[in-house]
Chain A
Amino acid sequence: GDSVTQMEGPVTLSEEAFLTINCTYTATGYPSLFWYVQYPGEGLQLLLKATKADDKGSNKGFEATYRKETTSFHLEKGSVQVSDSAVYFCALSETVQGAQKLVFGQGTRLTINP
């Protein structure tokens, strides 16, 4: 079945550092790709998504580009803030009986120190 592999955490950075969280996927077709963020004690929120090859998703300074040739969707941010501390999940979608099923990576815990 389809799967997602994420860079293992935890990741600790200083404020204003450059962030990269690696994500690669295995899929039989051409799934949509997502990054979700989970702040402490909360549910998941969509951060960004891309629906086809070479699409770039962006939001709140975060970016990720759908790379079909390397089956990757790495998350980047040029200058992180303390408020970016959270767990980040890469996910792909597959179709299950008329609805969308998300397959998540294992998550990467990010801590930003002031």
Chain B
Amino acid sequence: DAMVIQNPRYQVTQFGKPVTLSCSQTLNHNVMYWYQQKSSQAPKLLFHYYDKDFNNEADTPDNFQSRRPNTSFCFLDIRSPGLGDAAMYLCATSRDWAGGSETQYFGPGTRLLVL
């Protein structure tokens, strides 16, 4: 089945040690998103790619970077994770913007633990 896949499902890293989370999609969607969801909170958009164009949310810390080498893959890099970065990270995709009514398809998420 076409889907959004995130690896790994659980990631443990040490304080300050760079970590990369990955997302792939078989939907051939143009847009890919990264959300951060802390415990019992709503998902918060970090950034998105519209094709190769990168769009950062104004309040996303510089510690968070992203790469999209091709249509199918997108990576979230956390350069120096802090304890406050422990969260679930959700990847999502959508087709081209259609007046804002497009459905976003979410992956299962990667839960990041920072020790």
Residues on A close to B: CB < 8 A? Answer: 31-32, 34, 36, 41-46, 49, 51, 89, 93-102, 104-107
Contact = CB atoms under 8 A, between A and B. Distances in A.
Given A43-B90, A107-B40, A99 B97 contact: yes
A34 B97 CA distance: 15
Interface residues of B, number: 29
Nearest to A92: B100
Residue among A46, A51, A99, A102 with max Cβ neighbours from chain B (10 Å): A99
Nearest to A31: B100
A63 to B, nearest CB: 18
Ranked 3 nearest A-B pairs via Cβ: A104-B42, A43-B106, A93-B100
A98 B53 contact: yes
A93 B6 CA distance: 24
Interface in B1-58: 4, 6, 31, 33, 40-43, 45, 48, 50, 53, 55
Nearest to A32: B101
B31 A49 contact: no
A51 B106 contact: no
Contacts of B104: 44, 46, 100, 102
A99 B102 CA distance: 9
Contacts of B107: 43
A6 to B, nearest CB: 9
A97 B55 contact: yes
A104 B43 contact: yes
Contacts of A36: 106
B45 A101 contact: yes
Given A51-B99, A107-B41, A96 B48 contact: yes
